[in-house]
Amino acid sequence: MEGELQKRKVITTLFFIVLADMLGFGLIIPLLPYYVKQFGASDLMIGLLAMVYPLGQVFAAPLIGRFSDKVGRKKALLLSVGGTFLSLITLGLARSVLVVLISRLIDGLTGGNITVAQSYIGDFTDEKSRAKSLGLIGAAFGLGFILGPALGGFLSRWGFSVPAFFAAGLSFVNLLNIIFLLPDSKPAQDSKRVPFTFEELKKTISMPHLGSLVLVKLFYSLGFTMFESSFSLFAMKKLNLPLSTTSYVLAYVGLAIVFTQGFLVGKVTKKYSEDNVIKAVIFIASLFLLLYSLSANVFTLLLFLGPLAMTSALIGVSLSSLVTKSVQREKLGGTLGVFNSVDSLMRIISPVLGAAIIQYLGPSLLGVFEGLVVSISGLIFYLVFVPKYSLFISKSSGGVV
């Protein structure tokens, strides 16, 4: 009973930590172009600034995850949130493009909050309830992104630095929550004997089932990060939607994802294993990626985006849950970090690739490409990962927690 209460406390605290973190992130990102324009930034520089954070994440997420394996999740989360706090204070005080760039780099190089939160979930939950708990963390992530931009727009009426300082305040509250409310998750007994090196991470993800799962994640992430980054341009070019309508459509997508991750994931994964969930919906997701880009009006667009949002949410949580079941606890943080860094890498590539497809091939072919790469992800999952994962499960006599 006491263990169950502690698990609920951890999950509830992590939910609010991730919500506050993503609320702060959502506050800042839409305002950055306006913020640096007042310092004379060019359009190219704005694009480069957008790349700095995910570029830092590509390298930092695996290291911070591995750091959490070695010293415990709480210390790693303090480091990550502390870096976010420092970066936001720096951003609020910035009076040049260079200082803004430095602030984004600090945040990127210390931002492992999601990886550590997922690792916490892996430590405190059993395999049956893990996907549900990871779904709640995903729901907090999505809710922050929905509410953040609106709050940032409201606060910017008093100056572009105000949202940055408000977000810093949220990060400071997070630091207090971690210190006083979040129980520590001690490193696994064997983690001290696992080297803290990129070579060890490479060795871990080279395991047959994990290596193929990273490939699945790569193609899946390319398809969906391209959708996220290029949708506004698609809506403008294909349907001639104004910004306000596009914002409402994206809010609708966000709410569908939050509902699925916060409510449906737990119900579905209680009845079906994560690999069976992915097998059931991944090609449905690729179909709706194709269909949305053929939409002739807002009504058909919304009709196709609802199932797309729900299937993508089911796949995303199920993939993360499979990672936690595919590696020993002493390697969990570093492996999740590698897995999440794939998203960051794709967020660098996909905006350029998506824009190029729209400009040179036309907006209707955007979804065709997205659906194709997600279909490739599904084929790798079916033909490569599932047999290797089944062999791994049989060898480990029921899996590894």
Cα separation, 157 vs 163, whole angstroms: 10
Handedness of CA 351, 249, 24, 267 (dihedral sign): negative
Which pLDDT score, from 0 to 100, does residue 2 have? 54
Q: What is the pLDDT of residues 55-82, one digit of tens each?
A: 999 888 988 998 898 888 999 999 999 9
Q: How confident is the model at residue 308 (pLDDT cuts 50, 70, 90)?
A: very high
Cα separation, 187 vs 88, whole angstroms: 30
- Reply yes or no on whether the pLDDT at 195 is more than 70: no
Of 356, 322, 363, the closest CA to residue 339 belongs to 322
- Reply yes or no on whether the pLDDT at 190 is more than 80: no
Cα separation, 176 vs 115, whole angstroms: 19
The interaxial angle of helices 73-93 and 113-124, nearest 10 deg, is 160
CB-based contacts of 158: which residues, under 8 Å, 6+ apart?
A: none
Q: How confident is the model at residue 331 (pLDDT cuts 50, 70, 90)?
A: confident
- At position 179, the amino acid (one-letter code) is I
Between the alpha carbon of residue 85 and those of residues 170, 238, 343, the distances in Å are 8, 40, 23
| Average pLDDT along the chain | 88
Q: What is the pLDDT of residues 209-245, one digit of tens each?
A: 888 999 999 999 999 999 988 888 899 889 998 877 8
The interaxial angle of helices 73-93 and 43-71, nearest 10 deg, is 160
Between the alpha carbon of residue 105 and those of residues 125, 184, 255, 342, the distances in Å are 33, 28, 30, 18
Between the alpha carbon of residue 98 and those of residues 52, 189, 215, the distances in Å are 12, 44, 36
Cα separation, 64 vs 333, whole angstroms: 8
What's the full length of the chain, in residues? 401
**Torsion angle in degrees (nearest 10) through CA of 31, 33, 34, 39:** 130
Task: Over range 280-306, report the average pLDDT.
Answer: 96
Q: How confident is the model at residue 401 (pLDDT cuts 50, 70, 90)?
A: very low
Chain center to CA of 35: 25
Q: What is the pLDDT of residues 136-178, one digit of tens each?
A: 999 998 898 888 888 888 888 898 899 999 999 999 999 999 9
Of 141, 109, 117, the closest CA to residue 228 belongs to 141
Q: How confident is the model at residue 6 (pLDDT cuts 50, 70, 90)?
A: confident
The pair of three-digit structure tokens given for residue 385, joined into one six-digit string: 């990962």
Question: What would the 3-class secondary structure string for the chain be?
Answer: CHHHHHHHHHHHHHHHHHHHHHHHHHHHHHHHHHHHHCCCCCHHHHHHHHHHHHHHHHHHHHHHHHHHHHHCHHHHHHHHHHHHHHHHHHHHHCCCHHHHHHHHHHHHHHCCHHHHHHHHHHHHCCHHHHHHHHHHHHHHHHHHHHHHHHHHHHHHHHCCHHHHHHHHHHHHHHHHHHHHCCCCCCCCCCHHHCCCCHHHHHHHHCCHHHHHHHHHHHHHHHHHHHHHHHHHHHHHHHCCCCHHHHHHHHHHHHHHHHHHHHHHHHHHHHHCCHHHHHHHHHHHHHHHHHHHCCCCCHHHHHHHHHHHHHHHHHHHHHHHHHHHCCCCHHHHHHHHHHHHHHHHHHHHHHHHHHHHHHHHCCCHHHHHHHHHHHHHHHHHHHHHHHHHHHHHHHHCCCCCC
Q: How confident is the model at residue 108 (pLDDT cuts 50, 70, 90)?
A: very high
